[in-house]
Amino acid sequence: MPHGFVSLKTDSQEINRMNICKTISEFRQYRHSAAGKVIFVPTMGALHEGHGSLVRMARRLAGPDGIVAASIFVNPTQFGPHEDFHKYPRPFEQDLANLTAWGADVVFSPSPEEMYGPGNAISIDPGELGTVLDGAIRPGHFRGVCTVVAKLLGIVEPAAMILGQKDFQQQLILKHMVRDLNIPVEIITAPTLREPDGLAMSSRNRYLSPDQRSRAASIYQALSWATDQYKSGMRDAAALVAGMSEHLRQAGLEVQYALPCHAETLEVYPKAVGAPCVFLIAAKLGTTRLIDNVVNS
């Protein structure tokens, strides 16, 4: 088998080959020898069906002649010193099998040394949007995200990049980044995929014990409750915050925020909730931090 390709066996059949590039120059070689537009799905691996929906969407957008590129890179610069960088799951072989089954053509999977070589010193300031909500709780997080995504876009050179709505603040900041830095890529936000009880699919769900897992469904219950209230005309921000927080606390979650925000500026509606509105939640179950949101336009 040629170097850089993977050929995987499912239960009974061999499925098509996918190119694996571990270095920037390998990826560029592949990219410049392949014709057709590239649709890109950046990931940190530990892939689940939520990623599957992004890769399948990329496959549809790329068509038979385009290229679906994914990256797997657990980016150290977006983790705080006490966060889960070292324990972040890295089931690489399973990820490759999934990407192949979902229709990806190529995966870029560099080492930290490849991405951040000696003397690497420039990073991207995410601006005001990077200082609120998760930006306030995880200082430096969005600087790390913007920097790695700008680097990935410079390497992959896609026509479009697909991001999940679950990371609402991230997709908004990255849309601002490509606009402000004139990076020629379209960003498409794909809907959040949920488990049957409403829990948003996330690589971090695998940290939850069975008991925590059942209590985690309260996040979507709180968001659904707020959405129902909003749709039936409730506009009292304080009451919505109190109601969402109560749902979470009753299930034993530690609430970091449960807020109605402007869906384009992320400003918290202080009194009367207007439109467009996104209800945003971040909550902890033990040491696992989960986020989710619902948009009401």
d(CA 135, CA 78): 11
58 or 277: CB nearest ligand PAF: 58
Interacting positions 72-91 with ligand PAF (CB under 6 A): 75, 78
From residue 13, give the alpha-carbon distance in Å to each of 9, 70, 101, 134, 285.
6, 23, 11, 44, 40
# of chain residues touching ligand PAF (CB under 6 A): 10
Q: How far is CA 246 from CA 59, 162, 223, in A?
A: 41, 34, 12
Sketch the per residue contact string, 116 through 155, with ligand PAF: x for CB under 6 A, - otherwise.
-----------------------------x--xx------
Phi then psi for residue 275, to 5 deg, are -130, 150
Indicate whether 290 belongs to the interface with ligand PAF (CB under 6 A).
no
Shortest separation between residue 71's beta carbon and ligand PAF, angstroms: 7
Q: Which of 162, 167, 192, 244 binds ligand PAF (CB under 6 A)?
A: 167
Residue 140 Ramachandran class (φ > 0 left, ψ -120 to 50 alpha, else beta): left
44 binds ligand PAF (CB under 6 A): yes
Q: How far is the CB of 51 from ligand PAF (least distance, A)?
A: 9
**Distance between CA 167 and CA 286 in Å, rounded?**
21
Identify whether 51 is a catalytic site residue. yes
**Which single residue is written with the structure tokens 């109190």?**
242
Residue with tokens 């979507």: 220
CB-nearer residue toward ligand PAF: 43 or 109: 43
Residue choice 43, 100, 218, 293 for contact with ligand PAF (CB under 6 A): 43
Q: Which of 51, 82, 86, 176 is catalytic?
A: 51
CA distance 101 to 17: 10
Q: What is the nearest approach in angstroms of ligand PAF to the Cβ of residue 109? A: 12
Cis ω on the peptide bond leading into residue 158 (within 30° of 0)?
no
Which spans of this chain sit near ligand PAF (rule: CB under 6 A)? Answer: 42-44, 75, 78, 145, 148-149, 167, 170
Give catalytic residues, as residue numbers. 51
